[in-house]
Amino acid sequence: MPEKIFWAVGIATLASLIAGPFFIPLLRILKFGQSIRDEGPKSHLKKAGTPTIGGLIFLVGITVAVLIAAAKPISPVIWISLLAMLGFGLIGFLDDFIKVLRHRNLGLRAWQKLAAQLILALLLAFASVYLGRGTVVDFPFTSLKIDFGVLYYPLIVVLVLAVTNSVNLTDGLDGLAAGCTMFAAIGYLVITIAAVNYETASGGGTAADLPVFAGALAGGCLGFLRFNFYPARVFMGDCGSLALGGALGALAILSKTELILIIIGGVFVIETLSVIIQVISFKTTGKRVLRMAPLHHHFELGGWSEKKVVGVFWSASALCTLLGIGAYIGMFR
């Protein structure tokens, strides 16, 4: 297993580094440039025209790495994880493509996007349960387990829709979403290795080969940062952010750590809460709590440089990852 993980991380990183110089000029030729919202920070207007749909870079890297490094025959958990990632990536690609085609910042209609995500989330939940994951949910820091039965399915739908859209909201600064996802993937690499060892000792389970997928996810994000870190040469677009959210959701479900994802993805949670709080405050009082939502824009407008905001958020993501690993360890006490 250690060798497979090493190869997964290495191949995903290398494949993404190789794919970047191919996709970025191609996206420029096709004029797949990013449209910038007028109501956003004025400093972002200079980013208009930067190639988008760059998520294809790490999607290629991750897919190639997993298919090469995973044990043969490839296990169902790998196929489920890959299809979840690519399925959400396809939704994002269609959204991005419409934006580029119509030269606007809105792609798919909200209900179309939500409906597609809902269907994929349900398919992911049913496939995981069918595979043997069951409907029991473990609670972080404790040995408490609750069988949600049929209520497990709406729980998973909410979780998957939340994580995919949270990563999407976080993708507002160069390298922010990719870096935070990389730390989350490293956390799940540690957790899934522990899960595989536990299941091997107890017999059976659904975590086999998940460390390979987690490692490839981390490697793909690392390779992509070569082109996405400030000043970004390419943006991942919804194609990338929704795919990353789908990948994290699959890892959480198949490793039976759905609630720990809330901790490991703490930055994504805070970013989403900042938007919710801002909207509620403005709708009820007419006042804004933050200078701008999501939270990263609040600090930007407060005078922080983009690199400083990303660095602080990366540090917070690393801390959330450590806390999530601790929460997982606490479940076995």
To the question of whether residue 168 is assigned a binding role by annotation, the answer is: yes
For residue 79, with 0-12 CB atoms within 10 Å meaning exposed, 13-18 middle and 19 or more buried, which class applies?
A: middle
Element (H, E) at 12: helix 2-29
Q: How far apart are the first and last CA of the chain?
A: 26
> What confidence tens digit (pLDDT) does each residue in 138-148 have?
999 888 999 99
For residue 38, with 0-12 CB atoms within 10 Å meaning exposed, 13-18 middle and 19 or more buried, which class applies?
A: exposed
pLDDT computed for residue 45 by the predictor: 59
Q: Are residues 321 and 264 in contact, defined by beta-carbon separation less than 8 angstroms?
A: yes
To the question of whether residue 238 is assigned a binding role by annotation, the answer is: yes
> What confidence tens digit (pLDDT) does each residue in 1-10 have?
678 999 999 9
> What confidence tens digit (pLDDT) does each residue in 255-304 have?
999 999 999 999 999 999 999 999 999 999 989 999 999 999 999 999 99
- Read off the pTM: 0.94
Give the pLDDT mean for 15-35: 90
> What confidence tens digit (pLDDT) does each residue in 209-225 have?
899 999 999 999 999 99
pLDDT computed for residue 195 by the predictor: 83
Residues 317 and 63: their CA atoms lie apart, in Å, by 24
pLDDT computed for residue 211 by the predictor: 95
pLDDT computed for residue 38 by the predictor: 54
